[in-house]
Structure 1
Amino acid sequence: MKYTIACILALFSFGTLSAQTAEGQSTIGVQTGFSLAGALFNLSEIDANVDASTPPAVQLTYDYALTDRLSLGGGVSYQNFKLAYTGYGDAKESFDVRLSRFNLGIRALFHYGNSETMDMYSGLRIGLSNWSLDVGTDDPNFDPPKANGPAFAPQLVLFGIRGYFTENLGIGGELAAGAPHLVSLGVYYRF
């Protein structure tokens, strides 16, 4: 118990260290996010014969501060979805639909202010999402479709915030419109 309290006090005491965005600084982030596609897949569970599996989008980002107000970077994310149908139609067939999305993009961020421990920003991400579709069934007479292809994937980062509890390590979140997520939470490392 004493060790836990000491760790918490140490984290709060490090919060006063300088952690502002500075020219030439890099930030790496690992995030997980809620997406519109995932929400739509979860709506399919309204039917008793459908089970949906929609884990959150997982993302890795990198940002390089060109100035103390502007950064340029990129991101890569992945998300998969699965729908399993049981007792479908008159023949009571079972099948599943698997869909995955791999997104790669570049992003420009505008950083508000210059706080010691807080980084607030908005920006734009331009990228491509590669969608992959696969349908599995037990029916030997059905040739399931498979599809694969890219799609333009812009994202407007409406608001992002990172709070640093040490000079280099922080947590944060983003609210965005577009792929790969609407809301995300993450851990960030700045160097």
Structure 2
Amino acid sequence: MTHAVNLLPWRADRRRRERHRVLALIAGAPLLAVLVAGGIWLQLAAWQSAQEARNAHLERAIAEVEERLEEVSRLRKEREEIEARMAVLEGLVAQRGRPLVWLNAMVGATPDAITLARIAADKDSLELAGRARANGDVSVFMNRLEAAAIFEAPRLEVIEESEAGGYRFDLHLPLAEPAERAKDGTE
């Protein structure tokens, strides 16, 4: 005997379950898409926020570096000013002893028959005025000055006989350049 089995309710139940599953998939797919899109949007927002934070950090670091560069520039300018002042001071110190050198050289070059009445210093020359017993004494004086390494060839401006006896003279005495004196070993 065969029993008749009614498969219609089971099939209907299976179709209903299949329809619910398909409807759930159809309804879940957009929901899943919205969730995935929301997740992507949140991740992109987090990345953007992190990048903005890095950019802000870099901008602060750049501002600090620019401040430091301005400070370095200011310090360099100050250093250059100080170096310029030091150069002026070194030049003054180097020239401080020049009158002593001139006077020492003139003391050694001045014959006993010559009396110097005036010595005037210019930037690169000396003007000498004095008295001598004879013309020859002035010539000896000029030769000795020219032989000194710190002076160049003296030029006799005026020589005239004085009323008190002897001769009155004016000499122009150019100074040798410091580089020339350094070669000669006098400075």
- TM-score tier by shorter-chain length is under 0.3
Higher helix share: 2
Larger RCO (alpha carbons 8 Å, 6+ apart): 1
Normalised to the residue count of structure 2, the TM-score between the two structures is 0.25
Greater Rg by CA: 2
Normalised to the residue count of structure 1, the TM-score between the two structures is 0.25
Higher strand share: 1
